[in-house]
């Protein structure tokens, strides 16, 4: 069985959830269908941290509820830390926060921010966010991130995953966080690039073996060629 190999199957509700009620329907279905975890992304739909906190008490059977992923752009570390600890307080230790530097299209095209130094920004952001999620004050005066403060929210520490694909970001994820979340990746890319890179970084840092949360799209169709064309078009957004 997959569980014997250390593989767990969760359910991701996608990027376009339009309401908390819709998120609740997906989460309840996931729990009833036997999935262990439930994940929400932040793109154009509901705020995933708010939605997960709102449905916390309605899906007690889910072992884990998480974001995959929340872009770092648009949220100061103190603000994201407060939201994440509030969500963790509601979920009683079941919440996992996956974050990422996002993509040039989103950062520059939607937010009008700079995407010149995503690695530096992600590294400094973690310098501020990780202490806050562990209940410790942050004190960061970096080149891309400034954050000084603390939170008084009573919650369990929140595990963090860093979305990564390039070698430097994977190294950062392995060295600083519990693992990574990847999308649009096939099994060969994960087996030959993602897994060995992040595992080596975690081992060198003396950390436990990292998690790899892989978002895998599944579709039942009688039009495979049309689906391949749609998939190629959708993936071009991430160039």
pLDDT tops 60 at residue 1: no
First to last CA, the chain: 36
What is the distance between the alpha carbons of residues 122 and 127, in angstroms, rounded to a whole number?
A: 9
What is the distance between the alpha carbons of residues 25 and 8, in angstroms, rounded to a whole number?
A: 21
CATH number of the domain encompassing residue 83: 3.20.20.30
Upstream peptide bond of 69 is cis (omega within 30 degrees of 0) = yes
- Structure tokens that stand for 173 in this block: 């994820």
| Tens digit of each residue's pLDDT (9 = 90 or more) over 109-127 | 888 999 999 999 999 999 9
| Tens digit of each residue's pLDDT (9 = 90 or more) over 147-170 | 999 999 999 999 999 999 999 999
How much is the pLDDT for 238?
A: 63
Range of the domain at 11: 2-238
- State the alpha helices, DSSP H only, in 177-223: 187-189, 195-204
Q: Which of 85, 88, 117 is nearest to 101 (CA)?
A: 117
Number of domains making up the chain: 1
> For residues 14 and 49, is the Cβ–Cβ distance under 8 A?
no
């Amino acid at each position: 069985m997959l569980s014997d190999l250390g593989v767990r199957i969760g359910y991701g509700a996608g990027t376009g959830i339009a309401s908390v009620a819709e998120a609740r329907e997906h989460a309840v279905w996931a729990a009833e269908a036997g999935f262990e975890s439930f994940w929400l992304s932040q793109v154009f739909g509901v705020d995933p941290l708010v939605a997960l906190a709102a449905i916390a008490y309605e899906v007690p059977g889910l072992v884990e509820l998480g974001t995959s992923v929340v872009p770092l752009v648009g949220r100061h570390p103190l603000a994201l830390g407060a939201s994440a600890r509030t969500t963790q307080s509601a979920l009683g230790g079941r919440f996992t926060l996956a974050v990422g530097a996002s993509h040039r299209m989103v950062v520059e095209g939607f937010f009008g921010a700079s995407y010149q130094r995503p690695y530096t920004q992600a590294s400094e952001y973690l310098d501020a966010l990780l202490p806050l999620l562990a209940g410790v004050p942050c004190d960061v005066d970096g080149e891309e991130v400034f954050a000084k403060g603390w939170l008084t929210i009573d919650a369990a520490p929140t595990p963090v995953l860093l979305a990564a694909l390039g070698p430097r970001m994977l190294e950062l994820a392995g060295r600083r966080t519990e693992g990574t979340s990847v999308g649009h990746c096939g099994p060969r890319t994960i087996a030959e690039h993602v897994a060995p890179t992040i595992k080596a970084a975690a081992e060198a840092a003396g950390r436990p073996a990292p998690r790899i949360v892989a978002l895998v799209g599944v579709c039942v169709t009688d039009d495979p060629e049309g689906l391949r064309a749609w998939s190629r078009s959708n993936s071009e957004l991430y160039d």
